[in-house]
Amino acid sequence: MAPKYKLIYFNGTGRAEPIRYLFAYAGQDYVDYRLKREEWPQLKSNTPYGKVPVLEVDGKPVAQTNAIARYLAKQFKLQGSDDWEILQADSLVEALGDYNLSSMRLFREENPERIAEIKKEQAFYLAKFEEVLSSNPSGLLVGSAVTWADLVFAATLSSRPDQVDALKSYPALSAFVNKINNLPNIKKWVETRPKSDPPPTGPHHKR
């Protein structure tokens, strides 16, 4: 019997969307609990690390996006077909995490020189991802079947307008994100998911 899942996050895509993509692709029922901002101060102290997303599995909470995604990948048999593919998928998701850190720094940065440096770092990672996809005839990140890495990448790279704009210079990466987002279960999710609250603004959120 499958566990009962409850995902806790704010009403937005952000760090929870890769997890939602995994649930959608697998066709797994879960409670998508979307916090109201005023609920957060009271709930925060009851989460494992004072952060969301949190996934409750049969009532037991666990935090950290990638840990949750890896767990679900194992449950849904989306890790990869062998140990090498599993390692490749893990490596790519960790590299995407580094890319995300640079995006967060760009969001807050005001110094023009630092902005240029961060954009150069972002371009480095996007070029590497482009290279990986261009070398795989399947058009996927790893092997010939969808893995959790594909879902995490697509959810992350299509979650904000600035991410989508950045892909225009990377045709293989852009085609890949479009491919994943048009998988039947993912397409249905994207078309029917709740409308997100407006994202926070920063000095360079449109860059």
Q: What is the pLDDT of residues 185-204, one digit of tens each?
A: 999 999 999 999 876 554 44
> Considering the domain boundaries, does residue 143 fall inside one?
yes
Contacts from 45-51 at CB under 8 Å and sequence distance 24+?
47/8
Average pLDDT, the chain: 93
Residues 58 and 121 in one domain: no
Query: Which of 81 and 112 is assigned the larger pLDDT?
Result: 81
The residue with tokens 């960790």 is 94
> Considering the domain boundaries, does residue 176 fall inside one?
yes
pLDDT higher than 70, residue 13: yes
**Res 207: pLDDT:** 38
Residues 154 and 94 in one domain: yes
Q: Give the CA angle between residues 101, 103, 106 to the nearest 5°.
A: 115
> Considering the domain boundaries, does residue 196 fall inside one?
no
pTM of the model: 0.93
Query: Which of 92 and 109 is assigned the larger pLDDT?
Result: 92
Residues 69 and 114 in one domain: no
**Res 79: pLDDT:** 98
Residues 39 and 120 in one domain: no
Residues 152 and 116 in one domain: yes
Which amino acid appears at position 48 of this protein? P
**Res 108: pLDDT:** 81
Residues 131 and 63 in one domain: no
pLDDT higher than 50, residue 121: yes
**Res 200: pLDDT:** 56
CA dist 179 and 181 (Å) reads 6
**Res 198: pLDDT:** 74
Q: What is the pLDDT of residues 146-188, one digit of tens each?
A: 999 999 999 999 987 777 788 989 999 999 999 999 999 999 9
Q: What is the pLDDT of residues 135-147, one digit of tens each?
A: 999 999 999 999 9
Q: What is the pLDDT of residues 22-77, one digit of tens each?
A: 999 999 999 999 999 999 999 999 999 999 999 999 999 999 999 999 999 999 99
Q: 31 is in which domain, residue-wise? A: 5-76
**Res 205: pLDDT:** 40
Banded model confidence at residue 107, pLDDT cuts 50, 70, 90: confident
> Domain containing 125 — which CATH number?
1.20.1050.10
